[in-house]
Amino acid sequence: MHTSLTEDTLTLLEKKARDVRETLIRMLTEAGSGHTAGSLGMADIFVALYFHVLNHNPQDPEWEDRDRLVLSNGHIVPVRYATMAHAGYFPVEETMTLRKLGSRLQGHPERTKLPGLETTSGPLGTGLSQASGMALAAKMDKKKYRVYCAMSDGEHQAGNVWEAAMFAGANKLGNLVGIIDRNNIQINGMTEEVMPLEPLQEKYKSFGWHVLEVDGHNIEDIVDAYDKARAIYEKPTLIVAHTIPGKGIPDIEFDYTWHGKSPTTEEAKKFIEEVRSMCGKVTCGDKD
């Protein structure tokens, strides 16, 4: 067990991740559209961030000294909405308004719609530039908050990402942590068939980043990586998180056709039961 996590805390985080996945299925089914696979795959990471890693206050979303979380691949914002709701930013019932006219929970995040969102995102490849600017501003203002940026692997096919990576490395942004959802899928196939991305780690290292690699569904590993990132002062840190798109739903895991498809009512009933039966490191007795 990692020193910053007690067994009780890890059990709570694993339960929260299941709750978030169940909420995700319900809200996507109610909306009738949205991005299922990537959202389910990032649930463990977002739960680790909102319930253990981030320095934030749901009752004061604009708190000046809060850590900033930038979501670059805005299409998986349902997982952010679901996690924020369970963390107390707004009622969980409001998640059922996803993508509806007038809702604060649009299909891609709009910063001015919902307190707690740091950026408006939709066009892929822009988040790391925004996060790098925030991290540089924090250094210039001598602020202690940290900046986290969640990215997809597919968006690394955009050149803007690499300009930002070079900028962050050149400015030694030790207060910046990027995390790549390395699920290997994009809208029209597998990343390594559409436009190969490897060697991802070596590319970031060549731009002056410290690089870590984790199992994106092992919450203890995720927290450990963020703890290690705090100890890196002279360069930004990248966490490559290996995830399973559609995690928790055997029928859709690794199926890229679920990139932008929502469940039917009948599918949702089955999916919710499967999520409820998910095991974690502690919850099913594997404490090694």
pLDDT digits (tens, 9 = 90+) for 157-212: 999 999 999 999 999 999 999 999 998 878 788 778 878 889 999 999 999 999 99
- Picking from 77, 6, 36, 54, the residue whose alpha carbon sits closest to that of residue 255 is 36
| pLDDT confidence bin for 286, thresholds 50/70/90 | low
Question: What per-residue confidence (pLDDT) applies to 209?
Answer: 98
How far, rounded to the nearest angstrom, does the alpha carbon of residue 128 sit from its chain's CA centroid? Answer: 13
- Whether 3 shows a pLDDT value over 70: the answer reads no
Q: What is the pLDDT of residue 282?
A: 60
pLDDT tens per residue across span 66-98: 999 999 999 999 999 999 999 999 999 999 999
pLDDT value at position 205? 98
- What tens digit of pLDDT does each residue of 226-243 get? 999 999 999 999 999 999
Q: How confident is the model at residue 285 (pLDDT cuts 50, 70, 90)?
A: low
- In 3D, which of 25, 20, 8, 23 has the Cα closest to residue 50? 20
- Least-confidence region, from 46-50, 117-121, 282-286: 282-286
Q: Determine the distance from the C-alpha atom of residue 207 to the mean position of all C-alpha atoms in its chain, rounded to a whole number.
A: 23
pLDDT score, position 283 = 60
DSSP at 92: G
What CA–CA distance (Å, rounded) separates 167 from 2? 33
User: In the prediction, which pLDDT does 187 show?
Assistant: 76
Mean of pLDDT over the chain: 92
List Cβ neighbours of 281 (8 Å cut-off, separation of 6 or more): 10, 14, 218, 219, 220, 287
The whole model's pTM is what? 0.93
Mean pLDDT calculated for residue range 23-33: 96
Q: Cα 195 to the chain's mean position, in Å?
A: 22
pLDDT recorded at residue 5: 84
**Residue 131, token pair as written in the block:** 């996060």
Distance of alpha carbon 110 from alpha carbon 127, whole angstroms: 13
Domains defined along the chain, listed by start: 7-276 (3.40.50.970)
